[in-house]
Amino acid sequence: RRITQLTLYYKTKWFRATLLFLHQRTMTSIQEGKKSFAVDLNKYTNKKGEFLRPPSSFRDWISADGSTGFKAEIGRYHLYVSYACPWAHRTLITRKLKGLEDVISVDVVDHYLGSDGWRFNPEARDSTPDTVNDFKFLKQVYFLANPNYEGRVTVPVLFDKREQKIVSNESAEILRMLASAFNEFCPTPEAKALDLYPPALREKIDELNEWIYKDINNGVYRSGFATTQEAYDKAVRELFGALDRVEEILSQHRYLTGPCITEADIRLYTTLVRFDLVYVGHFKCNKKRIVDYPNMWGYLRDLYNTPGFGETTNRFHIEHHYQGSHIQINPKGIVAIGPDIDYSVPHDRATRFH
Beta-strand pair 62-63/70-71: parallel
Q: How far apart are alpha carbons 168 and 165 in whole angstroms? A: 9
- In the chain the first and final C-alpha atoms are separated, in Å, by 83
In Å, how far are 9, 215, 217, 303, 343 from 244, measured between CA atoms? 69, 11, 14, 19, 21
Please compute, for residue 162, the number of CA atoms within 13 A of its CA located in the half-sphere on the CB side.
10
The residue annotated as part of the active site, out of 77, 83, 142, 221, is: 221
The residue annotated as part of the active site, out of 77, 83, 85, 255, is: 85
Answer positive or negative: Cα dihedral of 82, 80, 325, 271: negative
CA-closest candidate to residue 137, choices 213, 36, 12, 6? 36
Amino acid symbol at 337:
I
Q: What is the DSSP string of 260-283?
A: S--HHHHHHHHHHHHIIIIIHHHT
Q: For the stretch 50-69, what's the b/e string if a residue is b when 16 or more beta carbons lie within 10 angstroms of its beta carbon? A: bbeeeebbbebbbeeeeeee
Please compute, for residue 17, the number of CA atoms within 13 A of its CA located in the half-sphere on the CB side.
5
Catalytic residue check, 85 = yes
Catalytic residue check, 221 = yes
Active site residue ranges: 85, 221
